[in-house]
Structure 1
């Protein structure tokens, strides 16, 4: 299916033309038919030879209803722009053309209607000139009369050629349906309609409704496409969905239905402005403008970054991706200010003086076309899933993952990985020099020093980010980043350990007391360093033996008959309860001894 909006004309002639093409009445309200003026969005459809089903969103033309016009035009890919031969190009025609150009609706068809009332040439020339001034001058044109039928067959052929030339939609993409109408059906509940621009909606789907009221999970009870019930409808399509899980007063025009977790729903976005028929304008005030995205109209605050780049902060979150188009409008002045292309739906915070200027420099080459390598180059690190949510094709992200360092879903740009390794080398060297008894930088501190968003990336950049000819010489071990050739404790500590070893060689289970340790200059930090180096075994923070003490103890205990008590073990080892208790506990934990029901010990 193809969906067009009909715009440009103020009075009832546009609706008459849609009626003549489709045989359907697009004006839903009696007041519209009585006044000869479209007030709200109208919908009609037909089948064109060679093109299949084509739906029309008939938008109002009066200046008071431009917000409604944009709600109908925002999600559609092309337009049928109608100008009456007897009225010609009017001021409202200009604003409609501004809105279409700003929204990026660059494919369309110019139709001059009411040729039975006036020669169409003058209106046709004016309309072509008006469209050309907005970059839409290549649209084909057709002159028709809905009353006499003159030119209708030509119009149908031109419409078929237009829609078959539109780029294909992605029915396998992530669902995004902007709601343009919501109502209640007796016995069914809440029903919403909209132009499905992405994905496929099926009966029973679980979706998320996002809008000013927040996020609401909903279930699709039934799906209708062009008024007929279907099991599934794929983009592009006009659909009506009966929803379970949301009352009518919680949903309205401008809300959006999304595939759960698939879209970035954001308040801030960095965008590029496009002037309508000229350069991008300067924004005079940070407030007072409205962003029209899809069917939504949301007040925004504008922060200039530089040249044609600005940051928009919306009054409530919107689901936008890289490359999305929107319209920035000044409702007070009744004018379209600029078109908008989303460059970054998840921008970094701007905290420092000059941050806006640096941000503009980083975005200078951004085109709004999602590119995995370019996004990672600018962000330095990113989650693969986030890149896909922001609009980068999943196939590009998968290919990128095979070429760059990463871990647990994260990707790191190669330059960022090299910089992180360099920072880690400096940080580890500084830490070890400042505290030789505590070699190795704790992983959390290492992550901060490297400027990485996740601790799991530290080991990844050390493995893949170091220069291949030299390596970093760093490893992650025991929750610390340390040099692979760890020199161990300082010389004076090793000398003290040697004296302690001599004591224990003479009496292996006579653990030194606190006075002897103090005499040797071995405090808790020195003992911890010796334990990490494998020089000592600490049964408790205060009980220290040689590393092979458990093996020596087993040799002695094998000389006891069968089961033995703690007292018997203590006497056999020639030591005190202070040493025997933790030593037997260690042997039990490591599986060399077992407790008997009567509380004694035995060797396994």
Structure 2
């Protein structure tokens, strides 16, 4: 009963027919949206963070990264870091543009392009983040609380097994991974579980960051990072790339060596 309903026709407005159902109705709809839907609260107090969606090279100007500012305020002249995909670079924001307008600053929620100094286009890629220096680190191992989607929710019709290898999607990055868990052999669709997830390479990650697990075109689960764990050592990283059969062979080989 409290939801306002506005009737009208956008086609009538375009064709300049029946002003009451056309132009006037569209204007009334805009007024209703402005008055009824609250303005989203922007996270302006935290250090700026821009997940990079795309990278462009502008002749005569340099490299531009684009994306939606996730939090904070980004100003022209600010020092910044580009983090992710096992890379780390320092730079300075020398220009900000949004929808062909030059800005001195942008706020959380703005879709923008940021011109960065001294960075080659090929050194930056989608999935990295542009952030305030020292605020975001790269990690390849974390604990997470994950919900495994049921088939009717768009998920799998089979359980997730230990050493499952989905693709992790978070912000603008995607990365191959392997899933570990203790005290059980599988996680059934429709269940919540605490998992340890190891990424194929370090990515920009924070506690509280949300992500999805995908296998092909299927979203297997959704989750949130609950704890950042120490990065993988050389042996753990080598183990990460092993198939299950090779893992079993290596375990058997080690057991035989100990026995002898």
- Equivalent residue for 2:209? 324
TM-score, with structure 2 as normaliser: 0.68
- 1:340 equivalenced with 2:223 (yes/no): yes
Structure 2 counterpart SS, 1:323: coil
- Equivalent residue for 1:216? 89
Question: 1:185 aligned to 50, 58, 63, which one?
Answer: 58
Q: How does 1:75-474 map to 2 (within 5 A)?
A: 147-149=11-13, 152-153=26-27, 156-157=30-31, 159-160=33-34, 164-166=38-40, 168-212=41-85, 214-276=87-149, 282-284=159-161, 286-305=163-182, 308-331=193-216, 334-346=217-229
Shift of 1:264: 3.4
Question: Greater RCO between the two (CA within 8 Å, min separation 6)?
Answer: 2
Q: Distance in 1 between matches of 2:222 and 2:63?
A: 33
Q: Distance in 2 between matches of 1:145 and 1:189?
A: 45
Deviation track 1:472-496 (CA, whole Å, cap 9, x = no partner) reads xxxxxxxxxxxxxxxxxxxxxxxxx
Is the Cα contact below 8 Å between 2:99 and 2:112 reproduced in 1?
yes
Structure 2 counterpart SS, 1:272: strand
Q: Distance in 2 between matches of 1:143 and 1:274?
A: 40
Shift in CA distance, 301/144, structure 1 to aligned 2, threshold 3 Å? farther
Deviation track 1:536-592 (CA, whole Å, cap 9, x = no partner) reads xxxxxxxxxxxxxxxxxxxxxxxxxxxxxxxxxxxxxxxxxxxxxxxxxxxxxxxxx
Deviation track 1:340-375 (CA, whole Å, cap 9, x = no partner) reads 1111123698xxxxxxxxxxxxxxxxxxxxxxxxxx
- Equivalent residue for 1:410? none
Shift of 1:145: 6.0
Q: Distance in 1 between matches of 2:4 and 2:210?
A: 23
Shift of 1:282: 3.8
Pick the structure with more helix per residue: 1
Q: Distance in 2 between matches of 1:324 and 1:140?
A: 35
Q: Distance in 2 between matches of 1:267 and 1:141?
A: 49
Shift of 1:294: 0.6
- Equivalent residue for 1:42? none
Q: Distance in 1 between matches of 2:218 and 2:8?
A: 30
Shift of 1:226: 3.4
Deviation track 1:372-399 (CA, whole Å, cap 9, x = no partner) reads xxxxxxxxxxxxxxxxxxxxxxxxxxxx
Deviation track 1:207-242 (CA, whole Å, cap 9, x = no partner) reads 111232511111111112333212221212112100
Is the Cα contact below 8 Å between 1:270 and 1:310 reproduced in 2?
yes
Shift in CA distance, 272/159, structure 1 to aligned 2, threshold 3 Å? farther
Shift in CA distance, 258/140, structure 1 to aligned 2, threshold 3 Å? farther
Q: Distance in 1 between matches of 2:179 and 2:4?
A: 37
Structure 1 counterpart SS, 2:161: coil
Q: How many residues align?
A: 208
Is the Cα contact below 8 Å between 2:86 and 2:138 reproduced in 1?
no
Is the Cα contact below 8 Å between 1:213 and 1:250 reproduced in 2?
no
Is the Cα contact below 8 Å between 1:270 and 1:347 reproduced in 2?
no
Structure 2 counterpart SS, 1:236: coil
Pick the structure with more strand per residue: 2
Shift in CA distance, 304/282, structure 1 to aligned 2, threshold 3 Å? farther
Report the RMSD for the aligned CA atoms in angstroms: 3.2
- Equivalent residue for 2:240? none
Structure 1 counterpart SS, 2:70: strand
